[in-house]
Structure 1
Amino acid sequence: MKNSLHSICDRLREGKKYMNSRAILLVDIFLSAGSSFVTLLFVDNFIIDLSRSTYVLVMIGTCLTSFLAFWGLSVNRNIIRHATIKSIGRMGMAVLLKEILLVGMILVSGEHLFGQHLFACGLIDFLVTTAVLVGFRVTLVLVYDFAISLYGSGKTRVLVYGTGDKSVALKKRMHTSKHYHVVGFVNPDKYLKSFVISELPVYYFADEPNFVRFVKKYNINGLLYPSHEEARREKDRLVRFCQENGVKNLVSPPIDVLGDGAKKTVIREIRIEDLLGREEIRVNTREIAAYFAGKVVMVTGAAGSIGSELCRQLATFGVKHLVLFDNAETPMHELRLELERNFPGLTFTPFIGDVRQKERLRMAFEMYHPRVVFHAAAYKHVPLMEENPCEAVRVNVEGSRLVADFCVEYDVDMMVMISTDKAVNPTNVMGASKRLAEIYVQSLGLAIERGEVKGKTRFVTTRFGNVLGSNGSVIPYFRKQIERGGPVTVTDPGITRFFMTIPEACRLVMEAAAMSTGNQIFVFDMGEPVKIVDLAERMIRLAGYVPNEDIQIKFIGLRPGEKLYEEVLSSEENTIPTGNAKIRVAKVREYKRNEILEAYDRLEELALAVKIEDTVRLMKRIVPEFKSRNSRFEMLDREKLPEGIAIK
């Protein structure tokens, strides 16, 4: 018996109907005819004597007019257990139409079946039929709710955060969930405390002891947020209460992502990315789309974290042709499949190549003649580049120089270079190599402005910090360590970093490109820095463990070239605002192109010859603020360097 009930509940919950729309129509007609028969009995006993033929004629007319009215207004196509006020109103309209048709048929027939009482009898029939049909539907909904509540005793008991439309809509969706049973709503403040919304009570928790008592009393297993933004607002209160008391923090994707039907309601536990992100940055999408529409755009490093997201966003802006340039075969193949699947109307070309290979790069420019180039190809991992400085120079400096030179040669309108906050007062080879790339493209742009170099290309540089979820970033690394049972390794208790989501960074990059007048370095508002040890502790708690009890946090010391905190601007720089409060223009030292060319030529020769110390020494002379930290190259900082750029 119990298994049979569970089977029935499963079918109800999954949306499987026992009666199709035709069967429902027949039931409605039967109930309507029964209601009319009851009306005839009442009229016959209390108002006017009716003949047997009147009963027959009215019942035939009722069946016919009920069919026409119910079928015409499609009331049988509404799923009864999801009935709303609107659907009930439609049923009332259908019954009213039935009465109008029935009274009209009696009048047209010429038979004076009810005499002067015809309209009064029609009104009685309307009220009785409406009460029966609406009552039938309400009864079915109540029975359905009762069956689901019995079945739901083994589900995860959750509270839904908030009392807004999104929260109420989420509760209604969860009503048919296989795994979750909604117990009530949680309001972030005392407003609406003890009220009832959608048949469920609203609760408010003043402090953690109050929360803990409630959770234990009512056996609450999870707190469900309708969006990441709500979870983010409670990261230091309710999210923390849940983490410390074994209650799951859950989040639902937006309603428009869920699709239609309970099978697509994918609830998952909150990840650290949900809490570190910020309110969505609003950009002028219309202006950006207008700028890129109809243009050939090339993205170097297209298969990387930033490059691939740039491609996804550019695909929505109506570009004429998107050229994907990267040397990573498998990620490029995966990106190609994704773009073909999600953007079938997009014209794009995957182009396998290395920014260090001059002729291959020239071939891409020669074949496609891009109007805009996003240069995202780079080596980015600090410890690796500290161990391989010559490769950092070849890719980050020489590769950027080649891309910039070809942009000028092929009359590209704009080149946008993706830089990093590590280029500010660099303490490592990677950051210094990115600063060298910034210097070159900016000096080339200034030379064009001054008429020293023939061309029209505008050069734009964008700086930002760590992006959440990028390849090799700290969050995926910590997650793998937690999955293995620890320890989670943190370099230093005081180390901090700025974080930004990949889509957010790419939106700002494109807005900076659209607003730029050329030869500017844009810096982004990265928000507040995050302590990495706090990040590690929160990730451990989100995974259901206790830091330093279940999973240890181990401090391993700063890695070569690493510093405790990153800077978006050096102390010698200042900024000016733009039309977007999240984007500012940095004022930096200007370099003359004719003064740096010989040094850059020499730097590339040294890197190609793998003369490591000489390469780093020259980097420090071109970028005097480059001071190595926790690195074997600190000894070079103690050398007395000549003033100005030396090349020998």
Structure 2
Amino acid sequence: MKYSFHSVCNRLHENKKYVNAYTILLVDIFLSVMSSFITLLFADSFIIDLSRLTYGVIIGGSCVVSLLVFWGLRVNRNIIRHATIKSIGKMGFAIFLKELLLAGMILVSGSRLFGQHLFACAVIDFLVTSVILVGFRVTLVLVYDFTISLYGSGKTRVLVYGTGDKSVALKTRMHTSKHYHVVGFVNPDRYLKSCVLSELPVYYFEDEQHFSRFVKKYNINGVLYPSREEARREADRLVRFCQGIGVKNLFSPPIDVLGDGLKKTIIREIRIEDLLGREEIKVNTREIEAYFAGKVVMVTGAAGSIGSELCRQLAAFGVGYLVLFDNAETPMHELRLELERNFPNLKFTPFVGDVRQKERLRMVFEKYRPRVVFHAAAYKHVPLMEENPCEAVRVNVVGSRLVADFCVEYNVDMMVMISTDKAVNPTNVMGASKRLAEIYVQSLGLAIERGEVKGKTRFVTTRFGNVLGSNGSVIPYFRKQIERGGPVTVTDPGITRFFMTIPEACRLVMEAATMSTGNQIYVFDMGEPVKIVDLAERMIRLAGYVPNEDIKIKFIGLRPGEKLYEEVLSNEENTIPTGNAKIRVARVRKYKRDEVLRAYDQLAELALAVRIEDTVRLMKQVVPEFKSKNSRFEILDKINN
């Protein structure tokens, strides 16, 4: 018997279909007519003698009026299991309207069925109908909640963090979850301690020992955070408590189409990316949407971490046509499937090509005539480019030059180039190659402004810090090392980096594109730098291990071209403020196009001929602040000096 009841609860929980609205309408009419019949019996017994004609008229009238009112107000369309005060109030109004129409019908017909007792009988009918119809709904909700709570005994028992609107809304969404059962709320301070919120208790924990005792007593399996900000606030307290005793830290990303295109509640374990960073940059999404809506937009490097997120956000902003340009076949195929699944109305074309191939680029510009180009194609790994400087120049410098030149030739309105903080006082080939790309596009834009080159394209550059979770970045690398059992390798105990999230980086690009008047390099306040060794320790703890006990941390020394500290991107000395307090314009030396053209032509020739030392020497001449660190090219700096 117990097994069959549990099976019924299980089927009830998993059944996502609801009772047909017409069935609900028939039940409501039946209960309304029954209520009127009960009222007639009560009135006939205690108030006034009623004839059979009166019974017939009232029963028939109640049936017709109930049909008209309930159908007209669509009370049968409300899903009973999710009934709210508002829906119950709507039912009460429908019953009140029923009584008015029924009494009006009697008065207009001239019948004196109830004599001077009409008002009293109408009030009694209203009360009886309200009790039966509202009681019917409340009973169904209680029965449903009871069966769900029984079924929930096998689900993950979680506490929802916070007592604000987001937390309450999250608890409501979790009500029908197949995997999670909310047993209460966690308040970050003593306020509301021991109170009840949304029918669940509110708890407060003074220390880890108190939290541990509670978890064991009530068999708590996880703490669920409604936002990244809430999780970050508790990174050094409640999150750490959970890590220490093996309780899951869970996170519910916001219901949002920008990211994965899904509009549903998703629960996942907190990752290190969620705990790092600071308050994210706020941008004017209405202006961004208005600017890109209906335009043909091209993204180079579209299959990469930044490029693919740009494509998702552009798709959500309703671009007219999206051109994806990348030479990575498999990631491009995966992005295509994702966009087809999540944005079925999006018009787009995946175009396999290399920014170094002039004729392939010409073909895509000729065929699609983009109005805006986001140039995200680049080689980005510092040690790898230090070993292959000619390829860094061919992609990051020559490729960027070709894209910029075609933007001018085909009258593109704007080109937005993705750069890096490593272009600031570069100490490696990769950073220097990105600085060279910045110099070229800015000099080309200035030449257009001065009338030296015919064209209308505006050039915008955005400098990024390290992007959390991007392909090949430190977090996926550490995660793989932890999965293998360690050790986790860190270059130096003192090494620090600035970090940002991929969606945040892409919102910065969008904001830069809409606010720019052309030829600016945008940077932004990246907050405080993060020590990489602290990052490694936190990732180990998030994985449920103890640093240097279960998983070792090993220091291996700085890699070729690597800095111990990254340059601060934005301060009052090296930047100019904009309308967004978090975004600033970099003060950089401006180059005339005529001054750099010959050097760029020579760089292209040297890189193609794989004359490595000559290539790097010329890079240092064009970018005099390029001083190699921990690299075989340091000797060139000594020779130049």
TM-aligned CA deviation for residue 19 of structure 1: 5.9
Deviation digits for residues 421-440 of structure 1 (CA, Å, limit 9, x no counterpart)? 11112221111111222223
Aligned to 1:475: 475
Amino acid at match of 2:147: A
- Tell me if the contact between 2:416 and 2:460 (Cα under 8 Å) persists in the aligned partners: yes
Kindly provide the amino acid, as one letter, of the partner of residue 129 in structure 1: T
Q: In 2 relative to 1, CA 345–44 (structure 1 residues): closer, same or farther, beyond 3 Å? A: closer
Alpha carbons of 1:146 and 1:496: their partners in 2 closer, same or farther (altered >3 Å)? same
1: CA distance between counterparts of 2:118 and 2:374? 80
The match for 2:122 is 122
Cα distance in 1 for partners of 2:571, 2:238 equals 39
Give, as a single letter, the amino acid of the residue that structure 1 aligns with 2:557: G
In structure 2, do the counterparts of structure 1 residues 11 and 69 end up closer, same or farther at CA, with 3 Å as the change threshold? farther
Task: Give the match's secondary structure for 1:157.
Answer: strand
Q: Quote the residue 1:645 is aligned against.
A: none
CA distance in 2, matches of 1:269, 1:380: 29
Paired residue secondary structure (2:323): strand
Rounded Cα–Cα distance in structure 2 between residues aligned with 1:292 and 1:255 = 23
Q: Tell me how far apart the structure 2 counterparts of residues 58 and 306 of structure 1 sit (CA, whole Å).
A: 70
In the TM superposition, what is the alpha-carbon distance from 1:23 to its structure 2 partner?
4.7
Match of 2:191 in 1: 191
By how many angstroms is 1:32 displaced? 3.9
CA distance in 1, matches of 2:81, 2:363: 63
* Amino acid corresponding to residue 43 of structure 1 in structure 2: A
What's the offset of the Cα at 1:388?
0.9
Matched to 1:148, the amino acid is: I
Q: Pairwise CA RMSD of aligned residues?
A: 3.1
What corresponds to 2:509 in structure 1? 509
Structure 1 residue 306 displacement after superposition? 2.0
Matched with 2:160 is 160
Check the 8 A contact 1:389/1:616 in 2, yes or no: yes
Please tell me whether residue 384 in structure 1 is matched to residue 387 in structure 2. no
Displacement of 1:582 in angstroms is: 2.0
Partner of 1:214: 214
Identity of aligned residues (%): 86
* Deviation per residue, 1:230-283 (Å, 9 max, x gap): 22332232222222222211122335679xxxx954322112222225434222
Distance 1:563 1:34, change over 3 A: same
Contact 1:382–1:561 (8 Å) recurs in 2: yes
**Structure 1 residues 167 and 295 mapped into 2: Cα distance closer, same or farther (>3 Å)?**
closer
More moved, 403-412 vs 174-183: 403-412
- Partner Cα separation in structure 2 for residue 312 and residue 165 of structure 1: 28
Residues 491-640 of structure 1 aligned to structure 2 (within 5 Å): 491-569=491-569, 574-640=574-640
Asked whether the equivalents of residues 304 and 471 of structure 2 are also in contact (C-alpha less than 8 Å), the reply is yes
- 1:465-485 C-alpha deviation (Å, 9 max, x unpaired): 111222211222222223333
1:444 aligns with 2:444: yes
The worse-fitting range, judged by mean Cα deviation, of 470-479 and 403-412 is 403-412
Q: Deviations over 1:10-45 (max 9, x none)?
A: 233234679644554454445444444443443344
- The Cα of 1:449 is off from its aligned counterpart by 4.3
Alignment partners' CA distance in 2, 1:33 and 1:78? 20
Equivalent residue number for residue 351 of structure 1? 351
Moved more, 507-516 or 344-353: 344-353
Partner SS for 2:176: coil
Q: 1:588 to 1:488 in 2, by over 3 A?
A: same
Moved more, 142-151 or 216-225: 142-151
137-146 or 54-63, which deviates more? 54-63
Distance (whole Å) between structure 2 residues aligned to residue 290 and residue 29 of structure 1: 49
- How high is the TM-score relative to the length of structure 1? 0.89
Counterpart of 1:618 in structure 2: which amino acid?
A: L
State the secondary structure of the residue aligned to 1:517.
Answer: coil
Letter in 1 for 2:250: L
Partner of 1:334: 334
TM-superposed CA distance for 1:8, in Å, is 1.8
Is residue 424–residue 570 contact of structure 1 (8 Å, CA) maintained in 2? no
Matches within 5 A, 1:380-419: 380-419=380-419
The CA deviation at 1:391 is 0.9
Counterpart Cα distance in 1 of 2:631 and 2:244: 40
Residues 354 and 573 (structure 1 numbering): CA distance in 2 closer, same or farther, change over 3 Å?
Answer: farther
Distance 1:385 1:127, change over 3 A: same
Letter in 2 for 1:462: T
Q: CA deviation digits over 1:510-530, x for unaligned, max 9?
A: 322333333322222222222
Contact 2:425 2:626 in 1 (8 A): yes
Match of 1:362 in 2: 362
CA gap of 1:119–1:520, structure 2 versus 1, over 3 A, is: closer
8 Å CA contact 1:573, 1:588 repeated in 2: no
Secondary structure of the equivalent of 1:235? coil
1:51-450 aligned at under 5 Å gives the runs: 55=55, 58-59=58-59, 61-63=61-63, 65-104=65-104, 106-107=106-107, 112-255=112-255, 265-293=265-293, 295-317=295-317, 319-450=319-450
**d(CA) in 1 for partners of 2:436, 2:68:** 80
Q: Say whether the 8 Å CA contact 1:162–1:186 is kept in structure 2.
A: yes
Are 2:323 and 2:348, in contact at CA under 8 Å, matched by a contact in 1?
yes
SS of the residue 1:585 aligns to: strand
Q: From the superposition, tell whether residues 355 and 141 of structure 1 become closer, same or farther in structure 2 (CA, over 3 Å).
A: closer
- Call closer, same or farther: CA 1:637–1:135 in 2, change over 3 Å: same
Separation in 1, partners of 2:567, 2:554:
26
Whole-Å separation in 2 of the counterparts to 1:350 and 1:19 = 44
Rounded Cα–Cα distance in structure 2 between residues aligned with 1:318 and 1:24: 40
Distance 1:264 1:297, change over 3 A: closer
CA shift, 1:612, in A, is 1.9
Name the SS for the 1:478 alignment partner. Answer: helix
Q: Secondary structure at the match of 1:210?
A: helix
1:644 matched residue in structure 2: none
5+ residue gaps, structure 1, are: 642-648
Q: Partners of 1:396 and 1:547 in 2: how far apart?
A: 38
The 2-side partners of 1:465 and 1:432 are apart by 15
Residues 317 and 251 of structure 1: CA distance in aligned 2, closer, same or farther (over 3 Å): closer
CA gap of 1:49–1:540, structure 2 versus 1, over 3 A, is same
Report the CA distance shift for 1:453/1:267 in structure 2 as closer, same or farther (over 3 A). Answer: closer
Change (3 A) 1:502 1:131: same
TM superposition shift of 1:107: 4.8
CA distance in 1, matches of 2:358, 2:343: 31
Instruction: String of CA shifts for 1:308-344, please: whole Å, max 9, x gaps.
Output: 3333333455555443332223333333444444445
Check whether the contact 1:463–1:568 (CA below 8 A) recurs between aligned residues: no
What do residues 37-95 of structure 1 show as CA deviations (whole Å, max 9, x unaligned)?
44344334433344566556655554555455444544444333322222222332333
Closer, same or farther: CA 195–382 of 1 in aligned 2, 3 Å: same
- The answer on whether the counterparts of 1:464 and 1:526 sit within 8 Å (CA) in structure 2 is no
Q: Deviations over 1:374-397 (max 9, x none)?
A: 322211111111111111111112
| 1:8 alignment partner AA | V
Tell me if the contact between 1:295 and 1:372 (Cα under 8 Å) persists in the aligned partners: yes
Aligned-pair CA distance for 1:462: 1.8
1:585: how far off? 1.5
Is the CA contact 2:18–2:79 (under 8 Å) kept in the aligned structure 1? Answer: no
CA deviation string 1:109-161 (max 9, x = no partner): 66644332232223222222322332333333333333332332232221112
Pick closer, same or farther for the CA change 1:189–1:571 going to 2, 3 Å: closer
Q: Is the 8 A contact 1:396 1:434 kept in 2?
A: yes
In structure 2, how many angstroms separate the alpha carbons of the residues matched to 1:207 and 1:68?
Answer: 60
| Equivalent residue, structure 2, for 1:646 | none
1:170 maps to amino acid: L
Letter matched to residue 400 of structure 2? S
